[in-house]
C-alpha cells in the first residue's frame, strides 16, 4: 500500500492544463458543431420562415442557463460539475440521476455527431456508415485517453479552420442574398414556433461544457465565466450569419426538403467549390464537437466514481497521462452502443436534449441554493451578482428547462420512453446501492 498522502491525492487530482482559449473553444466548439449542419432541415420543415425567430427564442433560455453556470463555475470549479453541484446542493440522489440520464444524452450526442459527419463525408468518398462511425468514436476516445491538453490544442485548431470555412460561405453568400426568398417570419403560427425550440436549442447546447473540466482550468474563477461569455458571443454571431445567409440563398422550402441544407445553400453561392468546402467544414466541426462531448462524458463518470456513486475504480487518474483513463474506457464502451439506436435525427436530438434540460434545471436550482444558503461560496464567485439576482436567474432557468423538456414530446414520444426506462434502472441501482452500504455499516457496527 502507498502511504504517501501526496501520491494518494495525485491519483485522483486532475492537472490544470487548460487556459482561456481552451475554455472558449470547448464551449463554442461543442455548440458550433453538428447542429448547424443538421438542424436547419427539421426546423425549416416545422417553422418555415420562422426559423430565425425560433433561433432567437432558443437562445434566450441558453443565456439564462449560461449565467447560472458562469456563476457556479467561478465560485466552485470542479470536474463533472453537472453531477457535483446537484449532489452537494440538492441531494446526492439528484446528482446521481442527472448524471445517470446524461449517459443516454452523451451516447445520443456521439451517435448524432458521428452519423452526420460520415453522411457528409460519404458525399465525396463511399464508406460503410456503421464501421466508419465506430472508427471515428474510437479515435476520439483514444485522443482523450492521452491527455486533455492535447484535446484542447486540437479543439482550438479545428475551431479556427471551421470559422475560416464558414466565413467563406458568408462572404460569398451575402452578396447574393435575396430577401424575397426568406419569407415572412411572423407568418409561422406561435405554437409551431415553440415546437421547434427543443430542436433549435441544440444549436447552443454545450456552451457551458468547460465547467465540466473546471479542475483542469487554470485560474478557473476568472477563465470559466469569461470563457462562457466569449463562447456565447462567438456562437450567436456565427449561427446568425450562417442562418441568414442560407435563408437568403435558397429559402425555407429548399432547406426543409434538403438532406444537406447547408450544402445546398452553399452551392447557390459557390457552385462546385461548395462540396469540398462544406464537407470539410462539417467534418472539422463535428469531429471537434465529438472531442468535447467525449471529454464531458468521461469527466462525469470520473466524478461519480471518485464520490462513490459508481464503482470507485472509475475515479482513478492515469499516472502518465493525468487523465481518468478508466472512466474514459467506460464512456467509450457506452458510446459504441449508440450504433444500435434508431437513426432518426429527431429521435436522437430529443434523446440528447431532454436529459440536458434536466441537467440545466438541476444546476440552475443549485445556483439558487448557493446564493441563499452558502454565503462563503457566493463570496468566491467572480460573476458579481447579488444573491437575489442569482435566485431569480436560477428559478428562471428551472422553468425554462422544464418547459423545453416537455415541449418535445409532440415531435417523437419514443425518446421519452427510453429516458423513462433508463431513469427507472438508475433509481433501482441507487436504492440497491444504498441498502447494500447500510448492510455493510450494520455489519461493521
Q: 247-298: per-residue pLDDT in tens?
A: 899 888 888 888 778 888 899 999 989 999 888 888 887 888 788 788 888 8
Is the pLDDT confidence value at 61 over 80?
yes
Is residue 286 within 8 A of residue 34, CB to CB? The reply is: yes
CA 248 from centre of chain: 29
Tell me, rounded to whole angstroms, the distance of Cα 432 from its chain centroid: 30
- pLDDT at res. 428: 95
The CA distance from 100 to 375, in Å, is: 30
Name the pLDDT band for 90 (thresholds 50, 70, 90).
Answer: very high
* Residue at grid coordinates 483542469: 216
Please report the pLDDT score of residue 136 as a whole number. Answer: 92
pLDDT at 442: 56
> 402: pLDDT confidence band, cut at 50, 70 and 90?
very high
Instruction: State pLDDT tens for residues 147-166.
Output: 766 666 777 787 788 888 88
**pLDDT tens digits, residue range 5-34?**
444 444 555 566 677 887 787 777 777 766
434566450: which residue's cell?
A: 60
Query: Could you tell me which of 245, 252, 287, 251 has the C-alpha nearest to residue 270?
Result: 245
124-140 pLDDT, tens digit each: 888 898 999 999 999 98
- Torsions phi, psi for 213 (to 5 deg): -115, 35
Q: What is the CATH code of the structural domain delimited by 14-439?
A: 1.20.1740.10
The pLDDT value given to residue 8? 40
Higher pLDDT, residue 320 or 372: 372
The alpha carbon of residue 51 and the mean position of all alpha carbons in its chain are separated, in whole angstroms, by 21
Cα–Cα distance for residue pair 428/93, rounded to 1 Å: 11
Write down the pTM of the prediction: 0.78
Cα 3 to chain centroid distance, Å, stands at: 39
165-221 pLDDT, tens digit each: 889 999 999 999 888 888 777 777 887 777 777 777 777 877 777 776 667 778 777
Give residue 443's pLDDT band: very low, low, confident or very high (50, 70, 90): low
Per the model's pLDDT, the better-predicted residue between 186 and 299 turns out to be 299
* pLDDT score, position 17: 62
Domain limits, the chain: 14-439
Q: Which residues of 231-247 are buried (b: 16+ CB within 10 A; e: fewer)?
A: bbebbbebbebbbbbbb
Amino acid at each position: 500500500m502507498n502511504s504517501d498522502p501526496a501520491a494518494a491525492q495525485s491519483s485522483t487530482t486532475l492537472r490544470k492544463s487548460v487556459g482561456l482559449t481552451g475554455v472558449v473553444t470547448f464551449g463554442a466548439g461543442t455548440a458550433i458543431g453538428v447542429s448547424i449542419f443538421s438542424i436547419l432541415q427539421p426546423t425549416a420543415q416545422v417553422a418555415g420562415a420562422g426559423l430565425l425567430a425560433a433561433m432567437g427564442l432558443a437562445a434566450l433560455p441558453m443565456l439564462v442557463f449560461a449565467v447560472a453556470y458562469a456563476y457556479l463555475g467561478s465560485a466552485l470549479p470542479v470536474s463533472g460539475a453537472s453531477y457535483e453541484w446537484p449532489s452537494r446542493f440538492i441531494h446526492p440522489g439528484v446528482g446521481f440521476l442527472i448524471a445517470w440520464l446524461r449517459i443516454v444524452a452523451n451516447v445520443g450526442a456521439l451517435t448524432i455527431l458521428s452519423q452526420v459527419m460520415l453522411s457528409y463525408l460519404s458525399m465525396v468518398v463511399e464508406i460503410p456508415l456503421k464501421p466508419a462511425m465506430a472508427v471515428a468514436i474510437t479515435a476520439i476516445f483514444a485522443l482523450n485517453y492521452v491527455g486533455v491538453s492535447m484535446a484542447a490544442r486540437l479543439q482550438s485548431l479545428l475551431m479556427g479552420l471551421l470559422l475560416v470555412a464558414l466565413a467563406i460561405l458568408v462572404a460569398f453568400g451575402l452578396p447574393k442574398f435575396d430577401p424575397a426568398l426568406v419569407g415572412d417570419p411572423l407568418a409561422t403560427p406561435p405554437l409551431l414556433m415553440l415546437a421547434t425550440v427543443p430542436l433549435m436549442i441544440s444549436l447552443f447546447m454545450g456552451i457551458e461544457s468547460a465547467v465540466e473540466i473546471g479542475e483542469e482550468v487554470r485560474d478557473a474563477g476568472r477563465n470559466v465565466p469569461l470563457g462562457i461569455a466569449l463562447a456565447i458571443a462567438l456562437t450567436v454571431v456565427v449561427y446568425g450569419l450562417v442562418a441568414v445567409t442560407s435563408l437568403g440563398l435558397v429559402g425555407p422550402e429548399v432547406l426543409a426538403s434538403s438532406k444537406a441544407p447547408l450544402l445546398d445553400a452553399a452551392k447557390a453561392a459557390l457552385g462546385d467549390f461548395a462540396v469540398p468546402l462544406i464537407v470539410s467544414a462539417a467534418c472539422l466541426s463535428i469531429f471537434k464537437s465529438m472531442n468535447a462531448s467525449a471529454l464531458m462524458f468521461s469527466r462525469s463518470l470520473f466524478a461519480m466514481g471518485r464520490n462513490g456513486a459508481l464503482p470507485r475504480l472509475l475515479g482513478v487518474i492515469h499516472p502518465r497521462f493525468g487523465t481518468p483513463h478508466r472512466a474514459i474506457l467506460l464512456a467509450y464502451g457506452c458510446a459504441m452502443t449508440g450504433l444500435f439506436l434508431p437513426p432518426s435525427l429527431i429521435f436522437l436530438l430529443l434523446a440528447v436534449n431532454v436529459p440536458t434540460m434536466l441537467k440545466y434545471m438541476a444546476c440552475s436550482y443549485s445556483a439558487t441554493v448557493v446564493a441563499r444558503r452558502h454565503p462563503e461560496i457566493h463570496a468566491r464567485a467572480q460573476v458579481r451578482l447579488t444573491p437575489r439576482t442569482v435566485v431569480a436567474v436560477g428559478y428562471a432557468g428551472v422553468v425554462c428547462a422544464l418547459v423545453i423538456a416537455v415541449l418535445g414530446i409532440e415531435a417523437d414520444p419514443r425518446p421519452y420512453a427510453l429516458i423513462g426506462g433508463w431513469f427507472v434502472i438508475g433509481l433501482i441501482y441507487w436504492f440497491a446501492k444504498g441498502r447494500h452500504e447500510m448492510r455493510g455499516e450494520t455489519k461493521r457496527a
